[in-house]
Amino acid sequence: MSEILPLHHLAPERFETAAILKLLAKASRNLAELKGIAASIPNQGILVSTLGIQEAKDSSAIENIVTTHDELFKDDAFPESFVNPAAKEVLRYRQALRVGYDAVRQTGLLSANHIVAIQAELERNSAGFRKLPGTALKNSAGDTVYTPPQERGTIIALMGDLERFINDGQLFDADPLIKMALIHHQFESIHPFYDGNGRTGRIVNVLYLVKEGLLDIPVLYLSRLSCAPRPTTTGCCKKFGTVMSGRIGCCTC
């Protein structure tokens, strides 16, 4: 198990290389364009609901929870008469996104308690942060590829540090898009929950953009890009972890 340090221990200038800044400028322009287009749509609720279902489907597919659009819309329209466990679990993702979005909009913050509430809505339980040791991430062959922090006190402390990093703009002087990537890697490396870490982390991504004012509503969904074979995704995470002070976190990006 690699030691996980608070993100503010990193040097912001490490993420100011020419290659990163070039990509950052392009991403920022595209994000601003998306925000403007979304703002011009009269009924944004329809957009959020429709795209939310698409993101829920793709994000859940990464976790091998597979369903179809037909099943999702049937379950959404007739929840009492249409029973499909996978569809119901996918639709909980959309509801969890709503829970998080409402919290960010009302408070202007994205706290550890908000993240716990998002995961609780996803999993329909109140287990909260992991209390017992034994969690390990394994590949398809059953080999352990990453062991997250095991002690509950360590998990709580790291999530407290992450909460401060998310909400205190003075703690780390970097562009919000850079910080979003660091937050995602840190969260998945901590792996604070027994289940639902990947889906919760992807919801945190878009909610952080809303919190920072880069989006007004949660309409940027990246899960389709992550629907790659697991070995490829894991490899990317390991490489990114190597960049971050040698800390290797195996996350579901």
User: pTM of the prediction?
Assistant: 0.81
* % of residues, the chain, pLDDT over 90: 57
In this structure, of 52-61, 71-80, 211-220, the range with the lowest mean pLDDT score is: 71-80
36's CB contacts (< 8 A; 6+ apart) are none
Return d(Cα 31, Cα 13) in angstroms, integer: 23
Return d(Cα 88, Cα 82) in angstroms, integer: 9
Express each pLDDT in 58-114 by its tens digit: 666 666 666 665 666 665 666 665 566 666 677 788 889 999 999 999 999 999 999
How far from the centroid of its chain's Cα atoms is residue 63's Cα?
13
* Backbone φ and ψ of 137, nearest 5°: -95, 130
Please tell me the predicted confidence (pLDDT) of residue 241. Answer: 46
Please tell me the predicted confidence (pLDDT) of residue 222. Answer: 75
pLDDT at position 199 over 50: yes
One-character DSSP codes across 158-199? HHHHHHHHHH-TTSS-S-HHHHHHHHHHHHHHH--SSS-HHH
Task: Tell me the mean pLDDT in the region 146-169.
Answer: 97
Express each pLDDT in 243-253 by its tens digit: 443 333 334 44
Going along the chain from its start, the domains and CATH numbers come out as: 7-243 (1.10.3290.10)
Using alpha carbons only, give the angle 179, 212, 15 rounded to the nearest 5 degrees: 20
